[in-house]
Structure 1
Amino acid sequence: MNLDPTLLEIIVCPDCRGDLAAEGEELVCGSCGLAYPVRDDIPVLLVDEARRPE
């Protein structure tokens, strides 16, 4: 995954507004734990597409 660090500073979880961190091929919310996919270096910040924490 090749995301601009500046982008990671400004985007937040659309569900809870928590900070997102890059983990593998996903962006994971530090507050609610939702994991958003990144496809072709584009974050898909849709709650319906997010993986719920186990």
Structure 2
Amino acid sequence: MDHKLLEILVCPVCKGRLQWNAARTGLVCRGDKLVFPVKDGIPVMLADKALPLDEESTSAQP
């Protein structure tokens, strides 16, 4: 994920910062516990397309 893009994208639900999670191939909002998928290199920033965050599988990610 491009770091410049990651700096300007925010969670569409809470407007919080997002983190790239390569293991889940998505952008993580820890506040809302959601993962926004990235399809063909394009972030899908729709709340209804977000998946619930599984804290155990992402605890190793910074």
> Normalized against structure 2, the TM-score is what?
0.76
Give unmatched runs, 5+ long, in structure 2: 55-62
Structure 1 residue 40: Cα displacement: 0.6
> Normalized against structure 1, the TM-score is what?
0.86
Indicate the residue corresponding to 1:44 in structure 2: 44
- Detail structure 1 runs of 4+ shifted over 6 Å in the superposition: none
Asked whether 1:15 is paired with 2:23, we answer no
Higher gyration radius (CA): 2
Percent sequence identity over matched residues?
Answer: 46
Deviation string, structure 1 residues 11-32 (Cα, Å, up to 9, x no partner): 0000011110010201000211
Task: Point out the structure with the larger helix share.
Answer: 2
Higher relative contact order (CA 8 A, sep 6+): 1
Count of residue pairs the alignment pairs up? 52
